Structure 1
Amino acid sequence: MLMKQIIDAYEVLDSAYVTGKKVEEYLRTIQPDADITVYELKGPKGTTDMLKVRIPGSNGKIKGGSAPTIGLLGRLGGIGARPERIGFVSDGDGALAAVALAAKLLDMQNKGDVLDGDVFISTHICPNAPTAPHDPVPFMGSPVEMSQVNREEVSDELDAILSVDTTKGNRVINTRGFAISPTVKEGYILRTSEDLLDLMQITTGRLPYVFPLATQDITPYGNDLHHLNSVLQPCTATNAPVVGVAITAETMVPGCATGASHASDVEEAARFMLEAAKAFGRGQCKFYDEEEYARIQKLYGPMKHLQTLGEE
């Protein structure tokens, strides 16, 4: 359970003065020698602080092992929209989940529970991001471009990615809690992972929710197409399989709304991601069927052009 970490992380993040360094300081109270990197990233509308945490596994690549590496990415525009809005905004739940996951995994290591594979956790910390118009409700904007964040977070070391993002500004996911996407890989929307569906049922005690994807949702921002949100944007920058973890609501909630975060929902999503990381490192969780993927490529060819901005 991650409720303590969710509450502790929220207290750190819910501040007009929060920085990446302050989040790093919080994480180092758990494990002083943790592998944490924080640096400023400049974009066209301001700056944000990138936060990266690498947690070595007992048989991970960092130690020369062979277990696969999973990336747990907290996607968002910003954790605050100051001065327009006062306080932590709904859009910040992706960062909240990522920071809580880092705190939990570091605490687990202190207590002797080490995952098999390495875990890479990343998000960014911006308490004063701009807002942006979007249909049906306003989005949170970001001081940096999505392509910049992709370059910072997505690397060849990642064998699979779970991307968590607040996804409440729509009419297609009408439940509170979280939902997962089908697996996306190199421009293909593949079958939803049965292993992830099993883990979702186990961690929630309910039937799983899967949210629909349109082709434009898996294309890069900047092509003037409508996107559900940024939850699948990592898939535009990697060959690894990507699954979106959408923190959801029954009603449409603007990303810039305050007082709209539900600790139990964020905790549930983070706990699911933790269990997926455990299973993936042990080879007990497949994001896609390799043979079927080879077959679909043979039949229909590559779809990597959907990872680009396309051609006019």
Structure 2
Amino acid sequence: MSLKYTMEVIELLDDVNANGESVVRLFDGFEHCTATYETVAGQEGSTDFVKVVIKGTEGKSSGGDARTLGIVGRLGGLGARPQRIGFVSDGDGAAAAVAIALKLANMSVKGDRLPGDVIVTTHICPTAPTQPHEPVDFMGSPVDILTMNQYEVVPEMDAVVSIDTTKGNRVFNHRGIALSPTVKSGYILKFADELLRIMEMTTGELPVTFTVTTQDITPYGNDVYHINSILQPAVATDAPVVGVAITAQTAVPGSGTGASHEVDIAQAVRFSIEIAKEFTRGEIEFYDVEEFALLEKLYGSMKHLQTLGSDK
């Protein structure tokens, strides 16, 4: 099931030679799936942006009108080589995203195709830099967040699930996964009840959630504190975005090795796949459309929080 694909993907990514080509090859031969990658250079090296589209029976890529779910695997890098040997904790988001795509691709050839398309994006970099952060160091990236959003958040996505390791803090005291409230167009909205229901079903436990601050939904580069990049996709789209955090009870640095737990990553995979099934069928919403319209009528647009601000 999900754990099998998670383990297969981690084995592939835990390699100094991991790259976009090796990930794309995983999807060779799947009739209803297209996988591509593009190498992008930054100031501190390069990374391979991967995009996998699992086509739905009534998806937009096939001329239909079913909704498209975007799944973004957020990270700085898979490894911090040569400073650190092996797969780092920060790579969990990419591992989850690729495992989701692989599971959905396999489902599609076994007769379990979703109505709508699912677009999975992430990037593959086994030699990323690190950067200072409190309370533990973060992984850096060869490219900036603006570039990540450019390649990972695409207009076809009607809603976005952003998966990111979120262990480098003292806010969480839970090992597993946690869900954010929905973020849309600069507003932090209430938790989506239907996503909480799916979390209960897939984990077999009470839902675990995490708080989002205004700082977290503003773009990197504005000199304010962000817990991490999990909600950075929300600055690049007006589609609703939720964060699925892979968490720990203690503060674990993103550059820490031996800190990835396959079972926890598989939880994120299973949860996201169930979201995809129901969202592309039109059975769930990430936010209350009417209430959001009322908020904007009462208080105006909050899209300025998607920018770097007036002093930048």
Question: What's the TM-score bracket when you normalise by the shorter of the two chains?
Answer: over 0.9
Matched, 1:308 2:272: no
Shift, 1:62, TM fit: 1.1
RMSD: 1.0
- The corresponding residue for 1:23 is 23
Tell me which moved more, 169-178 or 301-310.
Answer: 169-178
TM-score, normalised on structure 2?
0.98
Cα deviation 1:199-220 (Å, max 9, x = unaligned): 0000001000110011000000
Matched, 1:166 2:169: no
Cα deviation 1:146-199 (Å, max 9, x = unaligned): 100101121221100000000001111210000010000000000000010000
- The corresponding residue for 1:10 is 10
The share of aligned pairs that are identical, in percent, is: 57
1:58-207 map, 5 Å: 58-207=57-206
The amino acid that maps onto 2:43 is: P
Moved over 6 A (4+): none
Question: What is the CA–CA distance in structure 1 between the aligned matches of 2:243 and 2:43, rounded to whole Å?
Answer: 26
Question: What is the CA–CA distance in structure 2 between the aligned matches of 1:291 and 1:191, rounded to whole Å?
Answer: 13
SS class of match (2:26): helix
Q: Identify if the C-alpha distance between structure 1 residues 156 and 287 changes in structure 2 by more than 3 Å, giving closer, same or farther.
A: same
Structure 2 unaligned blocks of 5 or more: none
SS class of match (2:27): helix
SS class of match (1:156): coil
Q: Identify if the C-alpha distance between structure 1 residues 282 and 4 changes in structure 2 by more than 3 Å, giving closer, same or farther.
A: same
Question: What is the CA–CA distance in structure 2 between the aligned matches of 1:173 and 1:311, rounded to whole Å?
Answer: 33
Q: Identify if the C-alpha distance between structure 1 residues 32 and 159 changes in structure 2 by more than 3 Å, giving closer, same or farther.
A: closer
Question: What is the CA–CA distance in structure 2 between the aligned matches of 1:78 and 1:220, rounded to whole Å?
Answer: 19
The amino acid that maps onto 1:220 is: P
Question: What is the CA–CA distance in structure 1 between the aligned matches of 2:266 and 2:22, rounded to whole Å?
Answer: 21
Question: What is the CA–CA distance in structure 2 between the aligned matches of 1:6 and 1:20, rounded to whole Å?
Answer: 17
Structure 1 unaligned blocks of 5 or more: none
- The corresponding residue for 1:39 is 38
Aligned residues: 311
Question: What is the CA–CA distance in structure 2 between the aligned matches of 1:105 and 1:34, rounded to whole Å?
Answer: 9
Cα deviation 1:74-116 (Å, max 9, x = unaligned): 0000000000000000000000001101110110011111001
TM-score, normalised on structure 1?
0.98
Question: What is the CA–CA distance in structure 2 between the aligned matches of 1:107 and 1:294, rounded to whole Å?
Answer: 39
Cα deviation 1:12-55 (Å, max 9, x = unaligned): 10001111101111232x62773111110111211000100011
- The corresponding residue for 1:208 is 207
SS class of match (2:239): coil
Question: What is the CA–CA distance in structure 1 between the aligned matches of 2:8 and 2:155, rounded to whole Å?
Answer: 32
